[in-house]
Amino acid sequence: MADLLGSILSSMEKPPSLGDQETRRKAREQAARLKKLQEQEKQQKVEFRKRMEKEVSDFIQDSGQIKKKFQPMNKIERSILHDVVEVAGLTSFSFGEDDECRYVMIFKKEFAPSDEELDSYRRGEEWDPQKAEEKRKLKELAQRQEEEAAQQGPVVVSPASDYKDKYSHLIGKGAAKDAAHMLQANKTYGCGEAPVGAGEGRGQEHSMGGGEARPEHRTPRPSHPPLCPQCPWPTRGTHAPLKRP
């Protein structure tokens, strides 16, 4: 009988020690706090969703608004807002570099943003429709000018005047044509055309003057005193002879 009672007592679990009881108590308290936090977070999400639904509804009913920018949100809040906007039939985009500082913009379907507007928001710039329209017109003008230039082909630069046309009224068309051939040959071998009018003025003056125009002649000034015809040495202009040194 004693052996049977001893075996029964040995098979029974020992009562938990004081340390084990404290550990279990802390575990139960931690689980309760976690559950409470989860319930609070869930309630906050519900309240946030209701608030976003109201703001989106007010935005839809306001005919004067075509887009709306929200304050920066965390990833969970942005996800909720995107879902609300999609259910309402609108368009939404997120902008910003830092994940915690990204914000959401919503647009009405009939006023969906263009690619240029989206690029402006991604660069952190404000969208100005007037400046964007001016930029678009300038771009179209430049493109149209390039197309017209491509259709016209390369520009052929022609000389301002032809040699034979330039002098045909003076020497005749036949002679002008021969002179033009000679001028082309001179250019080929490195000789340039003499400047127009060079030497013409003197020839015309000579012709009009009957060949009488001559260069002015000046008598050179003697470099030593004149000699006296009566004395074999120089004088000062009088008959008195100069003293030799």
What is the residue-level pLDDT of the chain in tens, covering all 245 positions? 556 556 665 665 565 566 678 888 888 888 999 999 999 999 999 999 999 999 999 999 998 999 999 999 999 999 999 999 999 999 999 998 877 789 999 999 888 888 888 988 888 888 887 887 888 888 889 988 888 888 886 655 555 455 455 555 554 555 555 555 555 555 554 544 444 444 444 444 444 444 444 545 555 555 555 555 555 555 554 555 545 54
Nearest to 193 by CA among 161, 232, 237: 161
Amino acid found at 76: I
78, 102 in Cβ contact below 8 A? yes
CA angle 33, 39, 40 (to 5 degrees): 90
Q: Environment class of residue 166 by beta-carbon count within 10 Å: exposed (0-12), middle (13-18) or buried (19+)?
A: middle
Is residue 120 in a domain?
A: yes
Is residue 38 in a domain?
A: yes
Is residue 145 in a domain?
A: no
171, 179 in Cβ contact below 8 A? yes
Cα–Cα distance for residue pair 205/226, rounded to 1 Å: 40
Nearest to 90 by CA among 50, 121, 59, 119: 59
Domain that holds residue 91: 22-127
Is residue 30 in a domain?
A: yes
CATH number at residue 31: 3.30.1370.50
Structure tokens at 198: 């060079």
- The domain tally of the chain equals 1
Is residue 119 in a domain?
A: yes
Is residue 228 in a domain?
A: no
Is residue 148 in a domain?
A: no
pLDDT digit string, tens, across residues 141-191: 998 888 888 888 665 555 545 545 555 555 455 555 555 555 555 555 454
Is residue 189 in a domain?
A: no
Cα–Cα distance for residue pair 31/65, rounded to 1 Å: 47
The dihedral built from the CA positions of residue 185, 191, 197 and 202, taken in this order, carries a sign that is negative
First vs last Cα of the chain: how many Å apart? 179
